[in-house]
Amino acid sequence: MVKNVSFNDARDGVADCLKCSLRESVLFAKLKDEVFEQLHDPIDQYTLPVGSTLYRTGDEGGRMYTVRSGILKLVQYLPDGSQRIVRLIRSTDITGLESILGETYQHDAVVLQETEVCALPVRVVENLSKDNPALHRELLNRWQRALNEADAWLTELSTGSAKQRVARLLLRLVKDTQESQCSLFAREDMGAMLGITTETASRTIAEFKRQSLLVETTPNQFLLDIPNLQRIAED
Amino acid sequence: MVKNVSFNDARDGVADCLKCSLRESVLFAKLKDEVFEQLHDPIDQYTLPVGSTLYRTGDEGGRMYTVRSGILKLVQYLPDGSQRIVRLIRSTDITGLESILGETYQHDAVVLQETEVCALPVRVVENLSKDNPALHRELLNRWQRALNEADAWLTELSTGSAKQRVARLLLRLVKDTQESQCSLFAREDMGAMLGITTETASRTIAEFKRQSLLVETTPNQFLLDIPNLQRIAED
DNA sequence: CGCGACATTGAGTTTATTCAAATACGGTGG
DNA sequence: CCACCGTATTTGAATAAACTCAATGTCGCG
């Protein structure tokens, strides 16, 4: 069990959106330079260590977050206390969208790999989207993206045998990148993503290693045998 | 396997939104009467029989649908052809939201109980939402609602033992209604909702019946023993 | 070096799946 | 109205998969 670290003191400073290296792929991609200069509400940047919590279920955040780098898990809990990871948030993703509706956060957002985020006050996003149809449309896109992701987790990661699920998770982790290289999560987290136990996750990964479907190049960096993993994922 | 029935000939006519009995709870709830009178694009109404398909994955629909009555399943398919039901759509729900982004539909939408829908052309919704912040906000709400639902299916309906999942599904089916009464789906569909086999779904339901957790009052109408189902769902 | 956290492995048990058979059910046509 | 057909449900038995609980290994860090 990972201890809860707050991120109060992780503030790096005010982001310079104009010079943002992710400007192309971020929520604000379509905005003109002039618009940024109207921003009097500053956009804060944070760096969050592994195990820290960006926000918690039920918090009244009032902020959405753009992830610049790193990985977060969105976690929900069952009445019996067991956890289920419902989504991963990665570079260029946005999380906490629900706060724009005035809702409290629906998940715990916990850092799996050191993460840099920009905090966007809801007020700012609302104002901007009011007279920026492009931004507004981008918001809808993000919502739909989250929904597609949620559906994919159901269909791909919560259906079929443990071997299939693990294979599909691995393929998902490298899909975007050209590389067939990726790093893995703690077995407990993999279990919580796939709806299987920690032990089953571990056994499956261990077996994949023995079959050279996974080869560890450097610590926690794995090369995947994509064709054979695909065969497992599909049949 | 249910045969595919198109709904081409199911058109009932043009809806009279002003007199809509669901006006309060529908996407257009907050619109003023005058606005409806500006609608030159008519809103068609359809009645769909069980087993028919409202839209298919990949269709370029250009329409969203408000469900007036009945139940639809949203289905996705795995490469091996097996199906997974990712959500149910019921009275006052909207489906096909993705079409407002110009995307094709992400699911097959298949009728489980005779369903009445109103078809909203994307063009109409876009125009209305342009100068109706309330409608616009309602759209966002619907998106978030779908997302919450997707997450809940993952957490509640795809986690834990078959007994727990079935119990949670049953509780979900009566949650909105005051009654502890509900009708059940085909076992094959229940399996596809819960990520279990048809046989396991059947065995579990049969066992619940023997334990009087479910009592059939009239054909396919069941009274639920909610407290005991809750016990099963949670432990 | 040794501690603590995590990963792996083992053995036994439970649960779910598979494949097959039997039963119930709804609707149709005689 | 009843017999019959096709479909869905239920049940059975054997098998396979995943889970539980416990022990052992491994790795990084103080």
Q: Which of A100, A144, A153 sits opposite B101 (nearest CB)?
A: A144
Nucleotide nearest to B51 (CA to C1'): D7
CA distance A82 to B219: 37
> CB distance B154–A154 less than 8 Å?
yes
Of A127, A155, A183, the residue that ends a domain is: A155
Assign A40 a pLDDT band (cuts: 50, 70, 90): low
Of B155, B189, B205, the residue that ends a domain is: B155
pLDDT in tens, A101-110: 999 999 999 9
Verify that B200 and B134 share a domain, yes or no. no
Nucleotide nearest to B197 (CA to C1'): C17
CA distance A100 to A63: 8
Q: Which of A76, A80, A160 sits opposite B151 (nearest CB)?
A: A76
pLDDT in tens, B73-116: 999 999 888 899 999 999 999 999 999 999 999 999 999 999 99
Verify that A74 and A17 share a domain, yes or no. yes
Verify that B210 and B175 share a domain, yes or no. yes
Q: Which of B84, B101, B155 sits opposite A141 (nearest CB)?
A: B101
Best interface-test mutation with A: which of B77, B154, B197, B235 has the largest number of A CBs within 10 A? B154
- Within 7 A of a protein CB, which nucleotides of strand D? 8-12, 17-22, 27-28
CA distance A36 to chain B (A): 23
CA distance B123 to B142: 18
CA distance B117 to A143: 24
- What percent of chain B is modeled with pLDDT above 90? 72
User: Is pLDDT of A93 > 80?
Assistant: yes
Total domains present in chain B = 2
Verify that B166 and B185 share a domain, yes or no. yes
Verify that B28 and B135 share a domain, yes or no. yes
Verify that A97 and A113 share a domain, yes or no. yes
Verify that A97 and A57 share a domain, yes or no. yes
User: Is pLDDT of A176 > 80?
Assistant: no
Q: Give strand pairing partners of B45.
A: B13, B118
CA distance B193 to B116: 22
Verify that A127 and A81 share a domain, yes or no. yes
With beta carbons under 8 A apart, name residues in chain B contacting A106.
147-148, 151
Assign B9 a pLDDT band (cuts: 50, 70, 90): low
CA distance A126 to A190: 36
Lowest mean pLDDT among A9-13, A81-85, A115-119, B87-91: A9-13
Mean pLDDT of A185-199: 98
CA→C1' distance for B229 and D8 (Å): 25
Closest CA to B84 of A80, A121, A151, A40: A151
Output the average pLDDT for chain A.
91
Verify that A147 and A228 share a domain, yes or no. no
* CATH number, position B61: 2.60.120.10
Of B155, B182, B201, the residue that ends a domain is: B155
Write down how long chain A is: 235
Output the average pLDDT for chain B.
90
pTM metric for this prediction: 0.93
- Sign of the CA dihedral with A200 first, then A201, A202, and A208 last: positive
Whether residue A180 contacts residue A226, with contact meaning beta carbons closer than 8 Å, is answered with yes
Say which residue, A185 or A24, is predicted with more confidence.
A185
Phi-psi region of A126 (alpha: psi -120 to 50; beta: other; left: phi over 0): alpha
Residue A74 structural domain: 2-155
Assign A2 a pLDDT band (cuts: 50, 70, 90): very low
Assign B1 a pLDDT band (cuts: 50, 70, 90): very low
Verify that B131 and B181 share a domain, yes or no. no
- The residue in chain B having the minimum alpha-carbon distance to the alpha carbon of residue A77 is B155
* CATH number, position B207: 1.10.10.10
Mean pLDDT of A107-124: 95
Closest CA to A74 of A61, A84, A59, A60: A84
**Residue whose structure tokens are 């260029």:** A92
Verify that B107 and B175 share a domain, yes or no. no
Q: Over the Cα atoms of chain A, what is R_g? A: 19
End-to-end CA distance of chain A: 35
User: Is pLDDT of A185 > 90?
Assistant: yes
Verify that A27 and A98 share a domain, yes or no. yes
